[in-house]
Every structure is written in structure tokens, then in C-alpha cells.
Amino acid sequence: MGVLHLQLQRLAGAGIIMVADISQKRLEQLRRFKPDVSINTQKQELSDAVMRYTNGQGADVIITACPSPEIQKQSVHLAAKLGRISLFGGLPKGKEQVEINTNLIHYNGIIMTGTTQDYHATRRNR
């Protein structure tokens, strides 16, 4: 899914494309798709890296394509003013409840949506 989203963002004209993962192996596999920044979150803080590469502004678009409640929670802190967040990765049963700072969404004008491949297939079959 990371490769798909990387390529879609490139086609959409993204300025800097950052990918993050806990797996160095997956990050190495992504290299051939030429992300501008690869972040191994086992070796560096995601928030530090995002803020460094965005000059402290945060990311304009964030796609959480992983089953991590912590990443969904952190996404609102990483988003720029008027940023967009897509919760693409579903969460495991029993971990669906995520505490999110809704003031950041409100005061920064962040748009947060959810989507899944299954939803689009279901909509087509109606």
C-alpha cells in the first residue's frame, strides 16, 4: 500500500514525498520508487523528521496505511494547517478506539477522512 500511495502522490504533484516504516527491509524495497525521504521510525522520531523536512510546518497530506492507533493519533500533530489526513489503514479488533486531539483538527482546519479499497468496490456494486 505504501508504494501505491507514493506513486499516487507523485502523480498528484506532491512536492516532497516522505515514507515511514518500522521495517528497514520495507524501506529498502521502496527505494526503487524514489521517495524523497525515507524514515525508519525505529531509528528516529517520526515527528522530528517530518518537522525537519517541512521546516516546522507539518505535512500537507498524511496517509496512514498501517494498522497503528498511535500513528493515527500522531497524524493530527504532524499535519500542517489546512492539512489532509487519510486513515487508510484499518485497526485491529480491540484497538479501534483512538484518542485524538480534536482541537488541532478544529483550529488548524485539518480535514480527516477514512477510506478503504473495500469501500470503493462495494460502492461500485450497488
| Residue ranges per structural domain of the chain | 2-124
Instruction: Read off the pTM.
Output: 0.88
Q: Give the separation between CA 60 and CA 75, rounded to whole angstroms.
A: 11
Provide the pLDDT for residue 120: 55
Provide the pLDDT for residue 57: 98
Q: Is CATH 3.30.565.10 what the domain over 2-124 is classified as, yes or no?
A: no
Phi and psi, residue 61, nearest 5°: -135, 130
Q: Give the separation between CA 32 and CA 18, rounded to whole angstroms.
A: 14
Q: Give the separation between CA 50 and CA 65, rounded to whole angstroms.
A: 16
Beta bridge partners, 111, equal: 84
pLDDT at 125 over 60: no
Can you tell me the mean pLDDT for 81-103? 95
Tell me the pLDDT tens digit for each residue of 35-83.
999 999 999 999 999 999 999 999 999 999 999 999 999 999 999 999 9
Three-state secondary structure call for residue 8:
helix
